[in-house]
Amino acid sequence: MASPLADKLRPRALEDVVGQSHLLAPGQVLRSIIEGGTIPNMIFYGPSGVGKTTVANIIANKAGKKLYRLNGTTASTADIKEIVSQLDTFEGRNGVVLYLDEIQYLNKKQQQNLLEFIENGSITLIASTTENPYFYVYNAVLSRCTVFEFKPVEPPEVQRAVERAFRVCAEEYPGLTVEDGVAEHISFSCGGDVRKALNAVEMLVLSAVSSSEVPVATLQAAKEVSQRSSNRYDRDGDVHYDLLSALQKSIRGSDENAALHYLARLLDSGDLISPCRRILVCASEDIGLAYPMAVVVVKTCIDAAMQLGLPEARIPLAEAVILLCTAPKSNSANVAIDAALADVRKGKYGDVPPHLKDGHYGGANKLGRAIGYKYPHDFGGWVEQQYLPDELRDRVYYHFGQNKTEQAALAYRHQQRAPKPEQK
C-alpha cells in the first residue's frame, strides 16, 4: 500500500520543517537543544499537522540511544513495561528514547510507570499532544519535562510545503500542470495544518490524473477537495475556550468587529449554545449596572436565536453582541458579589442583627426577634439603621461605577440620605 503524500514528504532535517520559527529558528531554545545533542524530556503541545511528530522524529534520529515509539491511543501498560525491560539489555545500555505520541490518552497509572525511569535518565521522553498538557498530563510527569508549544503554520509557510508537493507529484506524473492560485488557495484553506494541505494536494492530483490524459490541477477542483473552512474547533479542547474567552474580552473591550469575528467562528463550527451562554454572562458581568436593561435585551435575542436555530440565529446574536460592545461598561456588581463571597468563605459573616430577624411567629418577642426594626417606608423610603452583622458593620462591597446610570443612582442615594428638616 502506497504511503500518503504527507508521509513521503515528511522532513528529515530541521531546515525542511515549515513554520515553528519561534522554536526552530537559529538561536531559539529548542533548536539549540537539538543541535547540542543532549536531549531532555520534552512535551510538544499543539494542534494536528503542525510538525510535532516530524520534529520529534528528527530529534530521535539524532540521539545515540535506542528509539521506541508508542501511541497513547493504543499503548498498554505491558508495552511500557516491555520498553523498561530493555534497559537491562545490551541495546539499552545507554538508555532509550521513547517517542510517545498522543500522551494525553495514557491513564494516570500508565504515566506513573514511566516516572522512575524518566527521573533517573534511563528513559528520555519525547511526547506530543494536541491537548493542553497542564490539564491532561500527570503533574509528576509534567514537572520532569519541558513543554514546547507548536502553533498553526502561517499560509506562506504552508505554501512552501504545498509547492514542494506539487513538484514531487509532477515528477511522478509527467505533464501535470497546476493553475495559478491553487497552491495559495490550499494554503489558506487548511487552517495552518500542513498535513491537511498535503492531503488536499494528493486528492487534487489523483483526481486530475484519473480524469484526463493531460492532468491539470484546477482552482475549481482545489476548492472542491479542500476542506470547507480553515476554522479550527474542538468543543472539548483549548480552541473552544480560547474562542469564548476572546469573544468575551472583545465585548468587554468594546470591539464589536473582533467580537463578531469570534462569534462567527463559533457559529461556523455549529456551536450555538456556548456563545449564547457567554454573551448572556457578558450582559451582567461586563455591562451590568451601566445599562441594566442589557441583560433583558440580550436574553430576548438569545431566546430568539434558540428558537430560530442556525443559520438564522446568527442575526439576533449579532444584535446582542453589537449592543453589548457599544454599551457602557461596569463590573461593579461582579466585584461587589465576589468581595462579599470572599468574606463569607473566610468565615466572616457573624450573626444577623436581632432587629432584622424573623418575628412572624409566637414567642419571637421573648427571644428579642425583630424588636426595634424601622420600616423604611414609614420614613419616606430610607431610615438609618444597621443591616450588616456587627463584625462587618462598616464593610463596603459595592462601589458605584463611573457611568451615567450608576452615578445617577449615587446622586439619588445622596439625596435620599440627606438630612431632612423634620429630622434635624
- Is residue 255 predicted with pLDDT exceeding 50? yes
Helix, coil or strand: residue 86: helix
Nearest to 332 by CA among 254, 232, 227, 410: 410
Q: Which residues of the chain form CATH 1.20.272.10?
A: 238-326
pLDDT tier at 232 (50, 70, 90 boundaries)?
A: low
* pLDDT average, residue stretch 228-252: 76
Q: Which residues of the chain form CATH 3.40.50.300?
A: 20-149
Q: How far apart are CA 280 and CA 259, in angstroms?
A: 14
pLDDT score for 268: 87
Q: Which residues of the chain form CATH 1.10.8.60?
A: 155-225
Helix, coil or strand: residue 374: coil
Q: How far apart are CA 331 and CA 253, in angstroms?
A: 12
Q: Which residue has the higher pLDDT, 317 or 209?
A: 317
pLDDT score for 329: 96
- Is residue 1 predicted with pLDDT exceeding 60? no
- Is residue 370 predicted with pLDDT exceeding 50? yes
Q: How far apart are CA 89 and CA 96, in angstroms?
A: 11
**Highest mean pLDDT range out of 72-86, 176-190, 302-316?**
302-316
Of the listed ranges 209-223, 270-284, 307-321, the least confidently predicted one is 209-223
Tens digit of each residue's pLDDT (9 = 90 or more) over 183-226? 999 998 888 889 889 999 998 998 888 877 778 888 888 888 87
Please give the grid coordinates belonging to residue 325: 460592545
pLDDT score for 294: 96
- Is residue 291 predicted with pLDDT exceeding 90? yes
Count how many Cα atoms sit within 13 Å of the Cα of residue 220 in the half-sphere of its side chain: 2
Tens digit of each residue's pLDDT (9 = 90 or more) over 4-22? 888 888 888 888 899 899 9
What mean pLDDT value characterizes the chain?
87
- Is residue 136 predicted with pLDDT exceeding 90? no
- Is residue 257 predicted with pLDDT exceeding 60? yes
- Is residue 236 predicted with pLDDT exceeding 60? no
- Is residue 116 predicted with pLDDT exceeding 90? no
% the chain with pLDDT above 70: 94
For the CA atoms of 56, 60, 61, 64, what is the dihedral angle to 10 degrees?
Answer: 160
Is domain 155-225 annotated with CATH 1.10.8.60?
Answer: yes
Please give the grid coordinates belonging to residue 152: 498553526
User: Cα dist. 342→173, 196, 326, 337, 374 in Å?
Assistant: 70, 49, 31, 8, 29
Q: Which residue has the higher pLDDT, 409 or 67?
A: 409
* pLDDT average, residue stretch 247-261: 96
Domain 238-326 class?
mainly alpha
pLDDT score for 424: 44
How big, in percent rounded to 5, are the helix, strand and coil portions of the chain? 55, 5, 40
Q: How far apart are CA 2 and CA 321, in angstroms?
A: 50
Return the CATH fold of 20-149.
Answer: Rossmann fold (3.40.50)
Tens digit of each residue's pLDDT (9 = 90 or more) over 380-402? 888 999 999 998 989 999 999 99
Tens digit of each residue's pLDDT (9 = 90 or more) over 73-84? 888 888 888 887
pLDDT score for 91: 66
* pLDDT average, residue stretch 165-191: 89
- Is residue 368 predicted with pLDDT exceeding 90? no
Q: How far apart are CA 10 and CA 198, in angstroms?
A: 10
Q: How far apart are CA 386 and CA 112, in angstroms?
A: 58
Q: Which residue has the higher pLDDT, 416 or 294?
A: 294
Please give the grid coordinates belonging to residue 277: 451562554
Q: Which residue has the higher pLDDT, 116 or 42?
A: 42
Please give the grid coordinates belonging to residue 302: 438569545
**Highest mean pLDDT range out of 61-70, 114-123, 347-356?**
347-356
Q: How far apart are CA 250 and CA 260, in angstroms?
A: 9
- Is residue 235 predicted with pLDDT exceeding 60? no
- Is residue 35 predicted with pLDDT exceeding 90? no
pLDDT score for 2: 63
% the chain with pLDDT above 90: 41
